[in-house]
């Protein structure tokens, strides 16, 4: 497969011309699938088991290699302690091939400083999980005129600070459509309708293996939870059969062992008797 990988320039120029597909991937297998499916953008994180992300930073390198033609966003669940640490973290992501960095709950001040260093960043508007306590928990944002205007202002402020895009999470589609038209940066919908610049889903939701609460905005395309359960039963049965074959000494099968000619075996017996 050969296709042109999006640059930041292409990413921004796609606005109003075509929809972008973005999937959060948890491992190399999902990254390979995204590459083969020609997904535009993969999103990654690491070391966040509280959010179901057990990927290590080292695995991000392998994910990058597995999906070389996908625009890649990387980010962590822990906010850096300072602007300097934020800068170091961004350079660390860029060093493994990340095209942009997720800065969902970082300050405008930090975003401006990072943009001055030409670091591409995507932020977050609406239901921002990292700021859930400030908005009364995990809820839709923008259902009142005042909140809807707040979403617009927030997006414009992020644009002015230097973000190249935002994840638009659980904002009413009518509101998201207006904001998308009023800004120059990319808006990726997470339950905010088809009038954003693209759609963002998590691989575990798409594949149906999410544990616990399934987000309202998620869309399931396959039932991997059922398939995983089936595969686990097959693993157990296979291990049981191996265990039984071991006990019953069923490993003299000529298909998996090597033989010795009778003449050589008789000679071996003679020699063995002398030892």
Q: Which of 169, 241, 264, 273 is catalytic?
A: 169
Distance between start and end Cα atoms, the chain: 64
Q: Is 169 a catalytic residue?
A: yes
Measured on CA atoms in the order 172, 177, 183, 185, is the torsion positive or negative? positive
Q: Is 260 exposed, middle or buried (0-12, 13-18, 19+ CB in 10 A)?
A: exposed
Distance CA 31, CA 23 (A): 9
Q: Do the Cβ atoms of 12 and 163 come closer than 8 Å?
A: no
Residues classed as catalytic:
169
């Amino acid at each position: 497969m050969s296709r042109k990988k999006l640059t930041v320039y292409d990413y921004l120029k796609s606005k109003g011309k075509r929809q972008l597909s973005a999937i959060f991937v948890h491992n190399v297998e999902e990254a390979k699938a995204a590459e083969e499916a020609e997904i535009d953008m993969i999103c990654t994180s690491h070391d966040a088991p509280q959010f179901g992300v057990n990927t290590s930073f080292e695995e991000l390198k392998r994910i990058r290699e597995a999906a070389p033609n996908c625009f890649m966003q990387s980010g962590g669940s822990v906010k850096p302690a300072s602007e300097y640490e934020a800068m170091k973290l961004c350079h660390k992501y860029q060093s493994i091939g990340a095209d942009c960095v997720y800065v969902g709950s970082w300050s405008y001040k930090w975003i401006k400083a990072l943009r001055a260093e030409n670091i591409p960043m995507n932020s977050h508007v609406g239901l921002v999980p990292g700021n859930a306590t400030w908005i009364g928990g995990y809820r839709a944002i923008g259902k009142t005129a005042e909140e809807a205007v707040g979403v617009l202002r927030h997006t414009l402020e992020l644009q002015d600070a230097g973000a190249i895009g935002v994840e638009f999470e659980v904002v009413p589609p009518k509101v998201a459509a207006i904001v998308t038209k009023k800004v120059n940066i990319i808006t990726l919908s997470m339950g905010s309708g088809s009038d954003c610049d693209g759609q963002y889903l998590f691989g575990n939701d798409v594949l149906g293996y999410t544990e616990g609460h399934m987000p309202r905005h998620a869309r399931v395309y396959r039932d991997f939870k059922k398939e995983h359960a089936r595969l686990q039963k097959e693993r157990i049965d296979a291990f049981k059969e191996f265990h039984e074959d071991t006990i019953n000494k069923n490993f003299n099968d000529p298909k998996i062992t090597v033989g010795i000619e009778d003449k050589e075996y008789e000679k071996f017996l003679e020699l063995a008797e002398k030892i």
